[in-house]
Amino acid sequence: MLKTVPIRATVVWLVLMILTCISLKAVPRFDWFSTPQAGVVAIIISFFKSRLIIFEFMEVKFAPLAVRRLAEAWCICVCFVLVAIYLKFI
């Protein structure tokens, strides 16, 4: 019996891999304190990745509207807080 590959999940996985490579290149030599912009870019990319995981693989995209909005708000708020903390202590 022929099994089909879930196309959407595969595309999301490839996007996650590409974003990982981009975030690794954004921070030269894995030094978080090289430039503030590189650290901020890496944090924002990581939260976009977490949003993809939450919505695609945790099935939040099929949840009620209130749950989807809460998940979006959580991603945005935590991302902004971490960026603010990062920029404050650089």
Task: Give dist(CA 48, CA 79) in Å, integer.
Answer: 9
Whose tokens are 């879930």? That residue is 6
Please state the φ and ψ torsions of residue 63, each to the nearest 5 degrees.
Answer: -75, 165
- Give residue 74's identity as a one-letter amino acid code: W
**Predicted pLDDT of residue 32:** 54
- In the chain, the largest separation of any two C-alpha atoms, in whole Å, equals 57
- In a domain, residue 13? The reply is no
If you average pLDDT over residues 63-67, what whole number do you get?
A: 95
- Token pair in block for residue 52: 């993809």
Please state the domain count of the chain: 1
- In a domain, residue 43? The reply is yes
Mean pLDDT rounded to a whole number for the chain: 87
pLDDT band at 33 (very low <50, low <70, confident <90, very high): low
- In a domain, residue 20? The reply is no
Model confidence, pTM: 0.80
